[in-house]
Amino acid sequence: MVYFTGDNHGSAVEVVRFCKQFNLTAADIVVILGDVGANFCLDERDIAMKTALCRLAPTILCIHGNHEIRPANIPSYITKDWNGGTVWFEETFPNILFARDGNRIGLVRHDCQDRYLTVLCG
């Protein structure tokens, strides 16, 4: 299942609560639409946010917002192909992905066809 939220601004509390309340698994995807807060300050606050999200079972797909540093500008991020698109991630936090601008990422599951998220960030 794919779930959407947004504007977390550095707080993982609601995402963690939701994932636990509804027993999300590794088969699920949580999409955080903008201002995730994982790359705001490049200090221990960001690490705490990413650590909390990384402990969750689902894949966390992030769409960067206007308040955060782009993964392309952070040396610890690398890219990989994922669901038909390219995402940024850090090896330390493998289930936290940032969609690359201009990508079309498939959100296809066994029970549906042709479901995509097109990332049009600036």
The pLDDT tens digits for 61-107 are 999 888 889 999 999 999 999 998 999 999 999 999 999 988 888 87
Q: Are 1 and 40 in contact (CB under 8 A)?
A: no
Please give the model's pTM, rounded to 2 decimal places: 0.87
Q: Among candidates 102, 89, 104, 98, which has minimal Cα distance to 31?
A: 98
How far apart CA 97 and CA 47 sit, in angstroms, is 15
Residue with tokens 């498939």: 106
Q: Give the model confidence (pLDDT) of 21-49 as tens digits.
A: 999 999 999 999 988 989 999 999 999 99
How far apart CA 1 and CA 20 sit, in angstroms, is 15
pLDDT band at 108 (very low <50, low <70, confident <90, very high): low
For residue 54, pLDDT beyond 50: yes
